[in-house]
Structures are given as C-alpha cells and as structure tokens.
Amino acid sequence: MTKPKVAFNWASSCGGCEIAILELGTKLLDLRDKVDIVFWPAAFDFKYSDVEAMADKDIDVTFFNGAIQNSENEHVAKLLRTKSKLLVAFGACAYGGGIPALANTTNREQVFKRIYKETPTTENPNEVYPKAKVEMKEGELTIPEFYSTVKTLDQTVDVDYYVPGCPPVAQQVSNVIDVFITGDLPAKGSVLGAKNKSLCHECKRVKGDRKITKLVRTYQTLPDPEKCMLEQGIICMGPATRGGCGAECLNANMPCRGCYGALPNVIDQGGKMLSALSSIFGVDSEEEIAKLVEQVADPIGTFYRYSLARSLMRRTRT
C-alpha cells in the first residue's frame, strides 16, 4: 500500500509550529511508518527544486505554517498549492497572520528604519537598508522582497483546512495528522483540532457576576489562580477564542492571548472581545468608561495579537 505523501513548510513565523511537530516525540517514529515525508526543510535537506520536479498534486497534504511577509513566502505557498492535493494553514500565523502581522500597524520603510537604525544596539551611520537586488562586481545578488503588508495563507492561495494555535498543542497535532491519514475529513474550510465553543467552556476558574472598575496587567498583580481572570481586571481573550488547547496558559496562571482564533461565525475576533469586555464594565459615565479604556496599554496587540491580518482592518493606514 502506498503511504500518503506529506510536506511541512515554515514561512514567516518563529518556528514554534516546527517544535510542535517535534513534540510528538516517539509518535514521530510511528508517523514515519504511516506517511512519506517528501518536504520538510526544517528537519531534512530538501530543496525547492525537489518540489518543482514533482508532478502537480503529487503531495497528499501540506502543513504550511507562517504568514506571508515576503516574496519567497508567496512563491513557496503558490508552489506547494500547485503540488498538493490538500493545503493546511497550520498555526496562528498562517491562519490569522499571527505576531508577524502586527507589522501591519506600520509599513516596510518604518520597519527597516526601526530594525536597521533605531534599535539601541545598531550602528548604521550610512543608513544602509536591505534591497531585493544589488549589483556587485561578481554579479547580481538577490534576497526576497519584504512586503509592507503581512497576509494570511488564504489571502495568497486557496486553503483547504485550518489548524490554529501558537503553536498548536502536541496532542492536537497528533489528532489532526491522524485525521488526514485515515481520510476521515470534514467539509473544506473546517477548523481542525479546536472546539466550536469558547475557551471559557474548558477553563476551570470560578466565574461570578463581578463588574470591573479597573484593568491591570499581569506584571502589576498576582492573579488568583481560582478566579476568572477577567473578573480580576486582567484582559483574557477566552470569551472570544476557540477552545481546544486545554487552557494551558490559564493553568499556568496567565491569561489567554487568543492564539486559537475566532469562534465560528465571528468575523472579527478583536471586535468580539471588545464587546465581551464592555459587557462587564462596572462604570457608567462616559468619563469613567474612557478612563477604563485608557488602561489598555496596547489595544491592537491585546485584541488582535494573532488575528490582525484576518480582521476587518487587516492593517492600519500609514
């Protein structure tokens, strides 16, 4: 019996999704017996030319992690889409843009200026910045073109399934891979390895009806591990985020940051969370509400940490 051909790719992301696969541990040995891994640059010495030489749709399923932030990311996404029967947006960056998409609050020029000139440890008196093409006496040197706007995978190519998480938890990864091996697939466009209810449904913390009059950040307090984070004035994205991760952050006494993405039928995860938060405000006057809102130190980083590229805004004007 021919084993399914599987590929893994890492675009613009931190590499945590690759670690999530490695966290399968000894199950990786079982995976080797069940599938034929034909492309996984983070683990084996594969080349793009290996993929280019394959027949179209030769790969049964590709797990693509990372956002699309440069021309190489886009090229490989389109190449793997052509060569794969199924393409999976694997992890928060491919799904919603993730942390890289917070760059959508600015543009390429400002990003380069910050990184290559303004950081405290950088000395660049001639203001030399990366260029996609540079002529040298030896010939033309090229690097991928850096884009001003970070996109999700499905804003670049057609995607069959989504697996959220930053990164997806190991058990979730194992279960999702088993789904593809058995062929017991849900409808195209489904989110796999996550629940259709909010994280609050699997959080064991006690929830009351307390209204908040102050917002605090985690470094400013020691959260009570038994009580709801929101009711302690700590912004927790649980009400607007899919469950399925096992509430690992909350079990470590940290609030949910929203990496499992929006609930079904929710267009904008940040907007949903803003609605949930406003419903527990214990103040009434416009002045008091304004003061409470001002206590959110980083609104976009708080409410759209993993979903800005997928949100109604997608990016801010610059």
* Number of C-beta neighbours around residue 249 at 10 A: 19
pLDDT at 235: 96
The whole-number pLDDT of residue 185 equals 93
pLDDT at 199: 97
Domain with CATH 3.40.50.700 in the chain: 5-99+150-182
pLDDT above 90 covers a percentage of the chain that reads 83
pLDDT tier, 249 (very low <50, low <70, confident <90, very high otherwise): very high
Is the predicted pLDDT of residue 80 greater than 90, yes or no?
yes
Tens of pLDDT, residue by residue over 145-194, are 999 999 999 999 999 999 999 999 988 888 898 899 888 899 999 999 99
Query: Residue 1 above 80 pLDDT?
Result: no
Mean pLDDT, range 62-91, rounded to an integer: 98
What architecture is the 5-99+150-182 domain classified under in CATH? 3-Layer(aba) Sandwich (3.40)
Chain segment 120-148, per-residue pLDDT in tens: 999 999 999 999 999 999 999 999 999 99
| Burial class (CB within 10 angstroms; exposed 0-12, middle 13-18, buried 19+) of 119 | exposed
Mean pLDDT along residues 4-9: 95
**What's the pLDDT tens digit per position in 102-112?**
999 999 999 99
The per-residue pLDDT for 24 is 86
Q: What is the pTM of this model?
A: 0.93
Rounded CA separation 197/25 (Å): 29
| E runs forming strands in the chain | 5-10, 36-39, 59-65, 68-70, 84-90, 133-136, 139-142, 146-151, 161-163
**Mean pLDDT within 32-40:** 90
pLDDT at 284 over 90: no
Q: Give 274-281's long-range contacts (Cβ < 8 A, gap of 24+).
A: 274/303, 276/239, 276/240, 277/230, 277/235, 280/210, 280/211, 280/212, 280/230, 280/231, 281/211, 281/212
- Which residues are 135's β-sheet partners? 140
At residue 172, the pLDDT reads 87
- What mean pLDDT do residues 199-226 have? 92
Total residue count of the chain as it appears in this document? 318
User: Is the pLDDT score of 317 beyond 80?
Assistant: no
Q: What is the pLDDT of residue 33?
A: 84
Average pLDDT, the chain: 94
pLDDT band at 318 (very low <50, low <70, confident <90, very high): low
Tell me phi and psi for residue 217, to 5 degrees: -95, 160
